Amino acid sequence: MSRALEVELPVERPGPAAPSLAERPSKGRRGLVLLLTRVVLVGAILVVWQYAAERLIDPFWISSPAEVWARLRKLAVVGDSPWEALVNFPSTDLVFHLRYTFQEMILGLVYGTLAGTVVGFVLGRARFLGDLINPLIIAIYSLPKLALAPLFILWFGIGIESKIVFSATIVFFLVFYNTFIGAREVDQDLVDVVRIFGANRFQVLSAIVVPSALTWVFAGVRLAVPYSLVGAVVAEMMASNRGLGFLISSAANQFDTGGVFAALVVLMIVSVSINGLVGRGESVLLRWKVVSR
């Protein structure tokens, strides 16, 4: 008696349902959660800092948030009423010193970025020239940047020029190496395909090489933003009578820990703000690329 052949067919079992658009966390909600978490984290740090300054450590060494806030008010607020403080804010000591440092930082960032981009792109595309000069650039880059500051002050004086050159030098190397790598890491298969379709050298550069290198350039610029500020401040600490670096050195010479922390807080705020603007510019110029933040 023959037995019927039983075949067990695979049964498609429903998987977990994909979340609907309403169930997916929106970008705005995620940003709000991140913002609130950062606020809570900063608040916790300030509470622990204040407690440590009052109970555990001598405020002479770490100051306190209350003392730092008092120093910031002294620098940024002139007048008793809010209206007087708002009207007089452009003439406060904070704006005076911040304007000087900001000018050095921006000019150093612009000059260093332009020079680093041009030189890095040229040496990246001209392989023989790049291989020839690259060891010399590495040798100069290996020098301690702090050791160059007195030399720049000797060459360009104690004015704003030496601070700009020092800041631009730091920015140059960061942008140069990123641009140099970006100009050489172009997808050669993509270049060959474009050439097959009849693209000339200029079209290859404008359509393939430059957009590919821009990603690396912006990566270098985002790294260079805080270092341009550091370069300006370090040069001010060595020889200057204005700027945030002067505020730090002056407060340190007077053993004013709160004043040092107040200037450092301003530096952090400026650096984060400029870095955010660079990120916005990157998202606008590189619309074809998903920019992760």
User: Are 57 and 93 members of one domain?
Assistant: no
User: Are 237 and 115 members of one domain?
Assistant: yes
Q: Which domain range does residue 155 map to?
A: 89-285
The answer to whether residue 154 sits within a structural domain is yes
**pLDDT tens digits along 6-22:** 444 444 444 455 454 44
User: Are 122 and 35 members of one domain?
Assistant: no
User: Are 216 and 163 members of one domain?
Assistant: yes
**pLDDT tens digits along 109-131:** 999 999 988 888 888 777 788 77
The answer to whether residue 173 sits within a structural domain is yes
**Whether the model pTM is above 0.75:** no
DSSP the chain: -PPPPP--PPP----PPPPPTTTSPPHHHHHHHHHHHHHHHHHHHHHHHHHIIIIIS-HHHH--HHHHHHHHHHHH--SSSHHHHHHHGGGSHHHHHHHHHHHHHHHHHHHHHHHHHHHHHHHHHSHHHHHHHHHHHHHHHTS-HHHHHHHHHHHH-SSHHHHHHHHHHHHHHHHHHHHHHHHH---HHHHHHHHHTT--HHHHIIIIIHHHHHHHHHHHHHHHHHHHHHHHHHHHHHS-SSSHHHHHHHHHHTT-HHHHHHHHHHHHHHHHHHHHHHHHHHHHHTTTSPPP-
Q: What is the CATH number of the domain that holds 214?
A: 1.10.3720.10
Count of domains observed in the chain: 2
Q: Mean pLDDT, to the nearest integer, of 163-169? A: 90
Question: Residue 139's pLDDT is what?
Answer: 83
User: Are 44 and 111 members of one domain?
Assistant: no
**pLDDT tens digits along 219-265:** 888 888 888 888 888 888 888 788 888 888 888 888 888 888 988 88
